[in-house]
Amino acid sequence: MTRGGLSMYPVLLSFQTSLVPICRAPRDGRLGEPWARRSIPCVCRSAISNHCPISAHTCYRGVVFGFGNVPIPSEDNIAKLVNRKLSIRAITWNINEKPVKILSLLADHLKYMSTHLEDIILIALQEIPPSTATFHEDALAIISKPLHQTHVTYLSYRAWSQMVFLLMRKSHTCFTTEPMVRFVSCNTLTKPMRTKGAIGVCLRIYQRWTVIIACHLTHSSALERIQNYHKVMKNLKFSTLCSFTGNDGILHADCVLWIGDLNFRIMKDSGIQWNSHPHGLSSSDIENIIKDDELAIIRQKELAFTVFSEAPIKFAPTYKFEIGTNNYVADRIPSYTDRILFWTKQASWLECTSYNIIQKVSQSDHRPVFATFQLEAINKKTPRRFNSDRTIENSSRKCHEENNLEKIDRRLMKTQVTRQSAFLKDRRKISNQYYQKLL
């Protein structure tokens, strides 16, 4: 059964909701060591020609596979990446249990950016309405509509009141491993309404092990939020990461994106008249607000998120708005509850290029926050023997060269035999003449 060309997957209101990788290239199910060769049956590639940048009706025979049975990109594939980098757009939004049509705001945002859209689109939603049985499919249909020509839904996962979407440009899907997903609950007892916790996704994109954490931390106190952070860091493990690096902790990946409603507040009222700035706050006002930001203070004291980085905040607080307006609620101090943080082993591998808010009126009391990144997906040149696009051509060329060498060897041998026989004949003639003189 389908809806709008998309599969209708059963929605379960639990962390056991089925993983939904869509339009994945077929695998033979075996994991290999890095740069391992795979001898798999010769099959037609027309089934994945829309997602793999190798022409249709060519064969798998001779293609080189790496970890997770993913084809190793050739020099031609790498040349299509600008500076060997992938662009990422991460969006987080607490929709405050509103109907699915609220996501049209994100669809409009993606449609507006469609001319120069990133390679990977990551969307994390919090406080999904538990009463809507088809929210998963309806949300996927709305978000993927402006991207259907260039991107595929690589991952769609729901855990209680949270959801993660990962959309990827079609040409990159066959160079990405199957994602592994885990959910860590921060509540003592998980419940379908406003469950606090984190969804973790682990996958390898080209040469980069990437972990994505979409979370919703508790609103109770700063101490409990710190405890939530350490619980996620301790319990979020990935066996695929362990099989490659020897450790299943998230900081053994190459880079980590941590996004979501972290619920950290502004601790002191700065005296700003929030609703009297129709054109936004000045940079000096924002700097004064950030000084009292709970997350910034906690990171400075090294209590939580110490290893993570955050781009400079140059936008107004994202919470709490009056529904349907751009005005903040009068009896609350506006706060930066929705955040996007990142960590990487090497600073050059992941760069945050923008960090901002989608300032549009909606039925939620939060505003969506987005960040764009440049991920250096390939950090070293692919050895020539691993150029999968040219393997078949090189094999046939090698056979042709070997045949030519054999022909040349035969000619040389024939020439040598001819020369040797001529030399021996001349030698006999000279010997006979010499012996005749002696006689």
For the segment(s) 71-376, the CATH number from 3.90.1200.10, 3.40.718.10, 3.60.10.10, 3.40.50.300 is: 3.60.10.10
Average pLDDT score over the chain? 78
Select, from the ranges 31-40, 94-103, 283-292, 386-395, the one with the highest average predicted confidence (pLDDT): 94-103
Q: What is the structure's pLDDT at 39?
A: 29
Select, from the ranges 157-161, 187-191, 300-304, 391-395, the one with the highest average predicted confidence (pLDDT): 300-304
Say which residues have a Cβ less than 8 Å from residue 100's Cβ, sequence separation at least 6: 132, 135, 138, 139, 142
Say whether pLDDT at 37 is over 70: no
Domain ranges of the chain: 71-376
When pLDDT is cut at 50, 70 and 90, the band that residue 74 belongs to is confident
Q: What is the 3-state secondary structure (H, E, C) of 94-145?
A: ECCCCCHHHHHHHHHHHHHCHHHCCCEEEEEEECCCCCCCCHHHHHHHHHHH
H or E element in which residue 374 lies: strand 369-376
Say whether pLDDT at 272 is over 50: yes
Q: What is the structure's pLDDT at 278?
A: 54
Report the side by side order of strands in the sheet with 255-261.
Answer: 180-185, 197-205, 208-216, 255-261, 338-344
When pLDDT is cut at 50, 70 and 90, the band that residue 35 belongs to is very low
Residue 124's φ and ψ, nearest 5 degrees, are -120, 130
In this prediction, residues 263-269 reach a mean pLDDT of: 92
Select, from the ranges 24-28, 67-71, 139-143, the one with the highest average predicted confidence (pLDDT): 139-143
Please tell me whether the peptide bond between 320 and the residue prior to it is cis, using omega within 30 degrees of 0: yes
pLDDT tens per residue, range 78-108 = 888 888 999 999 999 999 999 999 999 999 9
DSSP 293-357: BHHHHHHHTTSSS-S-B-PPP-S---B-BPTTSSPBPTTS--B--EEEEEEESSTTTEEEEEEEE
In this prediction, residues 357-381 reach a mean pLDDT of: 91
When pLDDT is cut at 50, 70 and 90, the band that residue 66 belongs to is confident
Q: Check residues 335 and 416 and name the one with the higher pLDDT.
A: 335
CA distance 118 to 102: 23
Residue % of the chain over a pLDDT of 70? 69
Say whether pLDDT at 417 is over 80: no
The model scores a pTM over 0.85:
no
Tokens in use for 307? 């290893």
Say whether pLDDT at 109 is over 90: yes
Say whether pLDDT at 147 is over 70: yes
CA-wise closest residue to 159 among 117, 178, 187:
187
pLDDT tens per residue, range 153-191 = 999 999 988 999 999 999 999 899 999 999 999 876 655
Q: What is the structure's pLDDT at 189?
A: 62
When pLDDT is cut at 50, 70 and 90, the band that residue 116 belongs to is confident
Evaluate whether 77 touches 389 at the Cβ level (below 8 Å): yes
When pLDDT is cut at 50, 70 and 90, the band that residue 403 belongs to is low
When pLDDT is cut at 50, 70 and 90, the band that residue 209 belongs to is very high
Least confident of 16-25, 35-44, 177-186, 272-281: 35-44
CA distance 80 to 83: 9
Say whether pLDDT at 31 is over 70: no
When pLDDT is cut at 50, 70 and 90, the band that residue 25 belongs to is very low
CA-wise closest residue to 316 among 336, 331, 297, 344:
336
Q: Check residues 360 and 36 and name the one with the higher pLDDT.
A: 360
Select, from the ranges 25-34, 75-84, 416-425, the one with the highest average predicted confidence (pLDDT): 75-84
Q: What is the structure's pLDDT at 3?
A: 42
Tokens in use for 250? 């998230």
In this prediction, residues 228-241 reach a mean pLDDT of: 93
When pLDDT is cut at 50, 70 and 90, the band that residue 20 belongs to is very low
Q: What is the structure's pLDDT at 427?
A: 53
